[in-house]
Structure 1
Amino acid sequence: MSKISIIVPTYNVEKYIARALESCINQTFKDIEIIVVDDCGNDKSIEIAKEYAKKDTRIKIIHNKTNLGTFAARNNGVKHSNSEYLMFLDPDDYLELDICKIAMENINEYVLLSFSYVKINKNNYEIFSAKWKNWQEYLKIIKKKQFTPWNLCNLIVKKDFYLKQILLSFQNYNLIFAEDLFVFALLINEKIKSIEYVGYYYIVNDNSITNLDKVDEKLADCEKILKLIRNSKINLNVKKYYLYFLNIEILDCKYRLHFINKYYYKIIKIGFHMKKKLKL
């Protein structure tokens, strides 16, 4: 059994998949498996992955029957994994070559370890970094910095915890966006921490599933997550923080200027119903 499974949901990324896989197979920590999940694209991404799999037996390719979307594809990869820990890599991004080694040296008794990441676009880059030792410190950082310095990709998490807490919570919901925030809400009261080590490179890709023409889906998923939170066992104080997190996610849509007119009233409506339904 490998120590770490790196899950790579793959859909129409033939220009980038080689770089992503190279960043996995060249990790200085070798006790890993790399699970490529074929999400039924129509380019040569999987053919490229198969060529890598011929050369490296740590690469396993899983085929979805239909296109499921990134989050569901990740979870299908998790179900086929055989390791103690999980990491996630979007195939148009790549990993720092020491990140698996650094992660294993630091996770210890924690269920989740978050690390810093770099967001890169055509003209510049931005480093997202924050150090915290527990969830209380994390909440303070969120309030202070006005952003959530993490996503599902810049972390390592214990597989048994992920299966128990996260897959069970999401099994009846098909989410495309905003799942990151709900996952972190489930981690409140758990042993989590962050290190200031850049381990992940997030490439802003105009053709990504998270690009601007997906705002409809993102707002719809915010509404789904509102229902998840309302029905969850998360305590009231944490729900108040979560409302704050979800507002950040919605505002991320609002301030993409060319969508303001089309989505403004829908955004305001969601914010109103969040307060009403959560009874805050």
Structure 2
Amino acid sequence: MPKISIILPTYNVEPYIERALQSCINQTFKDIEIIVVDDCGHDKSIEIAKDYANKDERIKIIHNEKNLGTFASRNIGVFNLNADYIMFLDPDDYLELNACEICLINIKDNNLLQFGFKKNENSEIDLIYPKMKDYKEFKKYISYFYFTPWNLCSLMIKRDFFCKKIQNFDYKFVYTEDMLVYISLINEKMIFIKDCLYNYIIHESSISKENDEKYNTYLANLDFTLSMIEKMDLSKNILRYYSYFIKMNIYQFLYKSHKISYLKYKFFKKKEKFKKICYILLFKISRLRRYR
């Protein structure tokens, strides 16, 4: 049985999937399985994956019956894996070749490990890594509104722990799935390392260029995420941080688009007070980033 499963939810990533698969196949730690979940795209991504699977028995391809999105595809991969630990890789990104080895050495008896990543935008690379080392320091940084990435691709997670946490999530996400799942995974047995092991590539497409339907869906996902985390058993500081941060994101998108009135959302009733909260949060985050 492999020690680590790397899950790639795959949809129309033909120009990038070969690089992603190579970064998995060539890991310095070899006892892995690579699960490609075919989310019914229209290009040759899966044909490329099949060619690699014919050469490497560690690659397993699962075919969805219809397009389900990243959230559902990841979970399908999780419930079909055989390893003790999970890592996620979006096929337009790629891993450092020692990512699995470093994570496995450091996770020990913990159920969640977060590592850093390299954000590559227009050939400019920004190293983003956690400065905290454990849950205690995590709560401390949250208290001061220190920004914490919630991308699931910068995690190694114990399989049984992850499955228990997501078993009741039946909402169909288009966006924000990382945020909700990450928040649900926060616990006392989480640790952090500063190694930047994931290469996150930002492409030209963005939510601002999407159509109104997708834009509205993004806002609905944020709204749902907010309602879900308010029901979670979180510390006061963590709940306050993520609630404010989600509200800030909603406000920013609504403000920039001028397409949807924020009066439609129940938490915007006191709009001036809420705007003040957003500006304070933005200021604190920008100030902390400046002195990182």
Secondary structure class of the residue paired with 1:131: coil
Match of 1:156 in 2: 156
For 1:196-253, what per-residue CA distance to the aligned partner results, in whole angstroms no more than 9, with x for missing partners? Answer: 1010001112357x67414332211011112322444446554323313323543564
- Contact conserved, 1:116 with 1:129, CA < 8 A, in 2? yes
Question: Does residue 169 of the first structure (1) align with residue 171 of the second (2)?
Answer: no
* Aligned counterparts of 1:216 and 1:193: Cα–Cα separation in 2: 35
- Partners of 2:150 and 2:179 within 8 A in 1: no
For residues 126-137 of structure 1, what are the structure 2 equivalents within 5 Å? 126-137=126-137
**Structure 2 counterpart SS, 1:21:** helix
| TM-score when normalising by structure 1 | 0.86
- Picking from 245, 257, 260, the partner of 2:257 is 260
Classify 1:95/1:123 alpha carbon distance in 2 versus 1 (closer, same or farther; 3 Å): closer
Describe the shift of the 1:238–1:124 C-alpha distance in structure 2 as closer, same or farther (beyond 3 A): closer
Name 2:178's counterpart in structure 1: 180
Percent of pairs with identical residues: 50
Q: Quick one: structure 1 residues 11 and 226, their matched pair in 2 at CA, closer, same or farther if it must change by over 3 Å?
A: same
Instruction: Describe the SS at the equivalent of 1:197.
Output: strand
* Alignment map for 1:29-48 (pairs within 5 Å): 29-48=29-48
Q: Alpha-carbon deviations, 1:239-277, whole Å to 9, x = none?
A: 32331332354356468xxx43224x33883643799xx
Q: Distance in 2 between matches of 1:236 and 1:152?
A: 23
Shift of 1:119: 1.1
What is the deviation of 1:134?
Answer: 2.3
CA distance 1:68–1:224, shift in 2 (3 Å): same
Compute the displacement of 1:158 (Å).
Answer: 0.2
- Count residues with an aligned counterpart: 268
**Contact 2:162/2:185 (CA < 8 Å) preserved in 1?**
no
* Residue 198 of structure 2, aligned match among 200, 218, 240: 200
Q: 1:174 to 1:116 in 2, by over 3 A?
A: same
Structure 2 CA distance for partners of 1:262 and 1:140, relative to 1, 3 Å = farther
Structure 2's unaligned 5+ residue stretches are: 272-292
Distance in structure 1 (CA, Å) of the matches to 2:102 and 2:252: 31
- Quote how far apart the aligned CAs of 1:114 are: 0.5
Amino acid at match of 1:169: N
Q: Does the CA contact (< 8 Å) of 1:114 and 1:150 recur in 2? A: no
**In structure 2, distance between residues paired with 1:127 and 1:251:** 27
Q: Find the aligned partners of 1:267 and 1:221 in 2 and give their Cα distance.
A: 17
Write out per-residue CA displacement over residues 3-53 of structure 1, whole angstroms, 9 at most, x where no aligned residue: 000000000000000000000000000010000000000100000000000
- Radius of gyration: which is bigger? 2
- CA 1:74–1:235 in structure 2 vs 1: closer, same or farther (change >3 Å)? same
CA 1:232–1:52 in 2, change beyond 3 Å: closer, same or farther? same
**Match runs of 1:169-248 below 5 Å:** 169-170=168-169, 172-207=170-205, 212-213=209-210, 214-234=214-234, 238-248=238-248
Q: Name the structure 2 match of 1:64.
A: 64
1:146 CA drift (Å): 4.6
- Gaps spanning 5+ residues in structure 1: where? 276-280
SS in 2 for 1:76: helix
Aligned to 2:277: none
Contact 2:251 2:262 in 1 (8 A): no
Change (3 A) 1:169 1:107: same
What is the match of residue 94 of structure 1?
A: 94
CA positional deviation for 1:128: 1.0
User: How far is the alpha carbon of 1:178 from its aligned partner?
Assistant: 1.7
Relative to the length of structure 2, the TM-score reads: 0.83
Contact between 1:118 and 1:201, CA under 8 Å: does it hold in 2? Answer: yes
Answer whether contact 1:119 1:128 (CA < 8 A) is retained.
yes
